[in-house]
């Protein structure tokens, strides 16, 4: 029996068969990667998914309601920090009030962001809470500019060891405080079923 001509070597759907090996999943025949299979980076939480009239993502910080949330939260946080600083003067040249404020703010921010992240997408009320309490209030409450200034002043006054320990200690202990805050946020925002199981096992 004679072979069919090349034009007849087609499948029922009209496509010619592929003589080469079939590409693996996630790869093009030329060895490239399929676009839809590439992992996508998460969007910036301050960039709206909805498109603007120009067809581009609309930044949240252009919306007056969110600007007001950050401004109001920042005012409250800054006032609270200044009140603590006035009520707790520096002892031995070390500003313990600022040290405590920065650590407390780091832990509270960890609790807040972890709790909000576990409750759903960063939209609506959750976004407003993040901007008011996180960006605004905790942003005004904590102060790393004062941390740097106080560290330099301690070093300039001849307390080099205290200044370096104060600066590095705030950053390192602050990282631990943030980790503790994240742990607390995760602990109190687990799915209800997990909380019940952990309670019954104890």
Question: Considering just the CA atoms, what is the radius of gyration of the chain in Å?
Answer: 28
Q: How confident is the model at residue 189 (pLDDT cuts 50, 70, 90)?
A: confident
Residue 153: CB atoms within 10 Å: 15
Q: Which two tokens stand for residue 42?
A: 């998460």
**Cα-flanking dihedrals φ and ψ of residue 33, to 5°?**
-100, 135
Query: Cα(98)–Cα(114) distance, rounded to whole angstroms?
Result: 24
Does 186 have pLDDT greater than 90? yes
Per residue in 121-171, pLDDT (tens digit) is 888 899 999 999 999 999 999 998 999 999 999 999 889 999 999 999 999
Domains of the chain, by residue range, sit at 61-190
Does 192 have pLDDT greater than 80? no
Q: Which two tokens stand for residue 24?
A: 């693996």
* 180 within 8 A of 105, measured Cβ to Cβ: no
Q: How many helices (H) and strands (E) does the chain have?
A: 7, 2
Per residue in 47-67, pLDDT (tens digit) is 665 656 666 776 777 788 999
pTM: 0.68
CA–CA distance from 200 to each of 188, 191, 197 (Å)?
Answer: 16, 15, 5
């Amino acid at each position: 029996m004679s072979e069919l001509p090349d034009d007849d070597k087609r499948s029922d759907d009209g496509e010619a068969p592929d003589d080469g090996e079939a590409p693996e999943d996630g790869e093009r025949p030329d060895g490239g990667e399929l676009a839809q299979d590439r992992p996508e980076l998460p969007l910036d939480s301050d960039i709206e998914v909805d498109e603007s009239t120009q067809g581009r993502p609309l930044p949240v910080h252009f919306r007056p309601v969110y600007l007001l949330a950050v401004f109001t939260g920042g005012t409250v946080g800054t006032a609270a920090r200044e009140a603590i600083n006035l009520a707790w003067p520096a002892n031995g040249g070390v500003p313990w009030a600022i040290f405590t404020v920065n650590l407390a703010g780091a832990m509270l921010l960890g609790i807040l962001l972890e709790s909000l992240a576990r409750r759903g997408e960063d939209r609506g009320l959750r976004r407003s809470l993040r901007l008011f309490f996180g960006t605004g209030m905790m942003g005004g409450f904590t102060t790393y500019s004062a941390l740097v200034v106080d560290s330099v002043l301690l070093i300039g006054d001849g307390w080099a060891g205290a200044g370096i320990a104060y600066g590095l200690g705030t950053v390192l202990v602050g990282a631990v405080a943030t980790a503790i805050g994240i742990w607390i946020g995760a602990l109190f925002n687990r799915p209800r079923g997990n909380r019940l199981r952990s309670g019954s096992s104890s």
